[in-house]
Amino acid sequence: AGIAKDIAERTRAGQEVAVVSSGAIALGARRLKLAKGGRASLEDAQAAAAVGQIALSQVWAETLGAEGLTAAQMLVTLDDLEDRRRYLNAAATLDRLLSLGVVPILNENDSVATEEIRFGDNDRLAARVAQAAGAGGVILLSDVDGLYDRNPSDPAAKHIPCVERIDARVEAMADKGSASGMGSGGMVSKIAAARIANAAGAHLAIASGRIDRPLSAEARHTLFVAEKSAPARKAWLAGGLTAKGHIHVDAGAAKALAKGNSLLAAGATRVEGSFARGDLIVILGPDGIPLARGLAEYPSEDAARITGKRSEAHAEILGYAPRAALVHRSHMALL
């Protein structure tokens, strides 16, 4: 009930709130008395989700209703937010519900999703929903109150109140903190969600869901600060989860990308994966950290053939007039 009161306070203050809620499979498994929490098989998980989704929606409808709010249910799959047209449809539905003063309750549609088309955790789903809704902020509720420099169970662990840039040091903290028993929604997935949210211009906070009023300003948390808002198409590119391949680049290319330039073949060092022209790919720096996401201008085979080569050699290597870049800046979003 505490979180419902927090949501009600925020809506009365003029804020629009959408909720990404988990628990459908666990609720359904309990009602169906399924072994292993409903996860003994894909069929069990899907059946449990189908039963649990109704129960979960009822809980939210009643809890928010007690605060004078109307709840709506939206079930989505990874494909719904990866396909551009369906993404825009979902965004339009969210926008209309929020404009009507409704609190959308979103969950992954586990009754139809398979492993190949699943988010796998609600952290990244929440970040993608925030992106679709054009939200200014995301709050992830966890069993810990934010990011620590080591496993939170260590008495020497220090709480990190604010992260202005997600770098290798922050990634290392997430790895150390992932031993806190948070399962598939561990700190690593929360850092991935922060990348998506920040790239879309949304701040992201990690706070404890175990306190009575988790959304209150006084609740301890870690804030991941977004530098600036992103154009809608580039936000969609940055948040994409199903990249078809990777292109590694050298330090010079990394600096050029940071200045807003296109990725040229001369700065690429390695191509991984199998992708076609127009597929979403990730550009990795010399240290393997993702720098950008974008749409490939070449299929992977041709990209590999011209990797490290200057543009004047491309036509002779490929046998056709080359394009200006491996990934053009107009179809790229920096991370």
Can you give the pLDDT of all 335 residues of the chain as single tens digits?
789 999 999 999 999 999 999 889 999 999 999 998 888 998 999 999 999 999 999 999 999 999 999 999 999 988 888 887 788 788 889 999 999 999 999 999 988 877 654 676 789 899 989 988 888 899 999 989 999 998 888 999 999 999 999 998 998 888 765 443 433 458 999 999 999 899 888 999 999 999 988 998 788 999 999 977 667 667 777 777 688 999 999 999 999 999 999 999 999 999 999 998 888 999 999 999 999 998 899 999 999 999 999 989 999 999 987 788 999 887 888 88
DSSP state string for 18-38: -EE---HHHHHHHHHT-GGGG
The answer to whether domain 1-118 and domain 136-241 are alike in fold is yes
Domain boundaries, the chain: 1-118, 136-241, 243-334
**Integer Cα distance of 172 and 191 in angstroms:** 11
**Integer Cα distance of 95 and 92 in angstroms:** 5
Architecture of domain 136-241: 3-Layer(aba) Sandwich (3.40)
Using a 10 angstrom Cβ sphere, with 0-12 exposed, 13-18 middle and 19 or more buried, the burial of residue 85 is exposed
**Integer Cα distance of 297 and 277 in angstroms:** 5
Torsion of CA 131, 279, 292, 151, to 10 degrees: 70
**Is residue 280 within 8 Å of residue 243, measured between CB atoms?**
yes
Architecture of domain 243-334: Roll (2.30)
Question: What pTM was computed for the model?
Answer: 0.72
**Integer Cα distance of 55 and 150 in angstroms:** 37
What CATH number matches the domain at 1-118, 3.40.1160.10, 3.30.70.1400, 2.60.120.620, 2.60.120.200?
A: 3.40.1160.10
> b/e for 291-322, b at 16 or more Cβ within 10 A?
bbbbbbbbebebbbebbebeeeebeeebeeeb
